[in-house]
Structures are given as structure tokens and as C-alpha cells.
Structure 1
């Protein structure tokens, strides 16, 4: 999740940091050592952006700036030494995580549209930017990826935010106002889902938990 077009690099790194925190926390919960925690933190924070850039056939931004490497390592160090305190602060971390989700789905969609992808493919790539790192984290941690079991409405806000970005682009609205609007929509949907316990529906006939 990287290489933003109309977003401050500091915001980009902040989003990477909160995603990296969630990856490092997953490693701590799985009783991984510090190396495993660092791998999960890096994959969660950078995986989506790397996948996007490889599909776009451009050099991943994660390999062009030292900050993209150091920030996940910093998050790992914080969780390694202050794991209980970070766990207690998870409600705040989840708010920033939602902001990162909105930011990266909008930016990923915008980048795909800029290089000539169709709106549909750009939406899919925007969602991949936002949730791809989480998929890699879950696979490496040995659990069902949240994208396949979206019971906390994580992928859905990213998909809708990406769709709004594509619609605005198609209507001629580009630049940071469009990116901000799409990012805020995804952010608010994610926050509301956490607040009110919204869940994606199961297949008909399967009882909810």
C-alpha cells in the first residue's frame, strides 16, 4: 500500500504503520518470534501495494523508499516490547486502520485508472490495494482470509470506496477531492460496521452465529 498520487507521503506512511501494527499483533497472538512478526507486519502493510504495482507492471514503490521498509519494522519493535499496551489500544488502532483502508482503496483505484485500466478492473485493483496485505497476512498466519469471510465488513467498504472513486473519475472529477471523497466513504462505512456490528450475509439457509 504505497505510492500515492494525491496523498501526502506522511499519510501514506501512517496508513502503512497501522496496517503493520495489525500484522505484528497477529504474529504476537500466533506466538511467532520477532522475525515472524516482522514478516507479517511487512506483508500486511506493503503486500497490497506490491500486488497492485506488479499487476500494473511498474516498479513497486516499496522498493524505492527506505521509509516503506523501516515503518513496518518500527511497528514490529513497538508490538514486540509493548504488546499488552498495543492490545489495549486496539480500538484506536482500528480507527486508523479504517482510515488506511479508505485511503488505499481510493489511491489504488486512481492509479489503475491513470494508467488506462477499465473502471471495473480499476475497482478490483483498488480493493486489492486495500485488502491484499491482509490476505497475505492471514494466509501466512494459517487462517481463512478475511476477504473470504467478510463478517466484519472489511472488504465491502473497500469495494464501495473503489467504486465511488471510479464513478467520480468517469464523471470528470479527479485529483485530491475525488480521492478524499472515496476514502471518507470507505472509512465511514467501516467505522459504522464496527460500531453497529454490521455483517455480510451468509448463504440462505445457513444460520448466523
Structure 2
């Protein structure tokens, strides 16, 4: 499976990402400048993957809003630059904007996600107000994101049995509920994708 991808960047790292992706035969790069002219249309569901590496918070928010409008099914990856102006409130804001937004710390992580997306053997799980520590081996968690104990995204390998995934998630919740050190209440769990009919949480 091939992916239509666009890279939005104002850094040298973004240029390096574009260069690496241009050599991946599974990736078809859509020039971001070409994509800019599509602002006036209501929907343009062309992109499978969008990668951000932007320094200005206002531009990050603007691009996410635009992608949500034009390509609602796109998977978003952001590499955040160390920047004092990117507060916990900012992170919470942008992660609330899209269920498909994740964060990567390296080009290697992006490559790993591309492998997942090309295979499509994954389910993205959105967890709200939940601070759990999962066994990375048992759950085969491909990526875990935690932002100030407010949001968490987990990609779960569907090659695991549903009963195993369900038990591990339930165990993690139970552990959290009895963990006196936890400052985060368990408010809700939202499951997106093929696991939704199996996980009655």
C-alpha cells in the first residue's frame, strides 16, 4: 500500500524528513505549496499522512485546522521543537483538535509509523484523562503519547487476541484506580477503530 504524504516544515529537520521520504517507494510526496492553493475548497481528501515540524504555535494550530477541514481522514504526525512557548495548555489544545494526531521524537519513529500505516494492521485508541503505564511487550504498544497527564494515544497491534488486549487494558485501569500516587481521575475511555466492538469500557 502506498501513502500520499505532505510535509509542513520551517526547519532543516523537516527538509531532512522530506528527503528521506522521497526515497521511500511507498510514499508519494505532495508538495505543501501545491496544497496551499486548496484552501478555498470544502474537501480534498487526498492525503493519507501529514507530517509537521513547525516552530510557531499559531501556524501549527492553523495547519491542523486546515487539514481537519480538507483531509479529515489524514493521519497526522508532529515533531515538536523544544520551545518554551509550547506550554502544556497548548499541547492539550492541539491534541483535542484531532484524534489522529500523534507526536514522534525522531525520524526513526516516523518510519515505524509509516510501516504501520502501510500495513494497516493497527487500531488507534484515544484515552482521555488516563495516566496508565502499560507493559510494552505484552501489549505490543507501538507508540504511547502522554501530555501532562491529560491525553494519551496508543496504537495497538491487532495481531494480539482481543481478550488479551481487553484484559491488559482493564488491568492497567484497575492498577491506576488503586494507585494512591495518581493525581488523574479515570473519566472516560474512547476507542476508535476495529477494537470498539470488543472493548466495552
Query: What is the TM-score with the length of structure 2 in the denominator?
Result: 0.28
- Give the number of the structure whose alpha-carbon radius of gyration is greater: 2
Highest relative contact order (Cα 8 Å, sep 6+), 1 or 2? 1
Query: What is the TM-score with the length of structure 1 in the denominator?
Result: 0.28
Greater share of strand: 2
Greater share of helix: 1
